[in-house]
């Protein structure tokens, strides 16, 4: 399995960010070709302090080739273009093979 992890910085308007993410961005990701899962969460910490990131999203495919093809697809291009609409505070994106230990 191969994954993309997007770690979003804290936005000025958290409610508007989540509304856009839930209603617009996540549905685009669900349209990625051969996508296995799209998961996201608003970050918290056990002690209630401000976490390093506001929201983390994880998208998985069966292979690196499937992931790269999905990002080059119309849905992938739409997802990248949509970042300007809500992720002005910044986003870090990493890719990697998933290793399952348990």
Q: Which of the listed CATH numbers 3.40.50.300, 3.30.70.100, 3.40.190.170, 3.30.460.80 matches domain 2-97? A: 3.30.70.100
What pLDDT digit, counting tens, does each position of 17-75 carry? 999 999 999 999 999 999 999 999 999 999 999 999 999 999 999 999 999 999 999 99
Helices marked H in the chain:
14-20, 26-30, 64-72, 74-82
Map out the domains of the chain as residue ranges. Answer: 2-97
Would the pTM of this model clear 0.85, i.e. be above it?
Answer: yes
CA distance 36 to 32: 9
């Amino acid at each position: 399995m191969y994954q993309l992890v997007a770690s979003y910085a804290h936005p000025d308007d958290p409610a508007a960010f989540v509304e856009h993410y839930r209603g617009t961005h996540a549905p685009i990701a669900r349209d990625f070709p051969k996508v296995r899962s799209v998961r996201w969460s608003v970050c918290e910490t056990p002690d209630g302090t401000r976490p390093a990131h506001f929201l983390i999203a994880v998208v998985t495919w069966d292979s690196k080739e499937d992931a790269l093809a999905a990002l080059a697809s119309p849905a992938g291009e739409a997802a990248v273009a949509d970042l300007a609409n809500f992720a002005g505070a910044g986003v870090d994106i990493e890719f990697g093979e998933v290793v399952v230990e348990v």
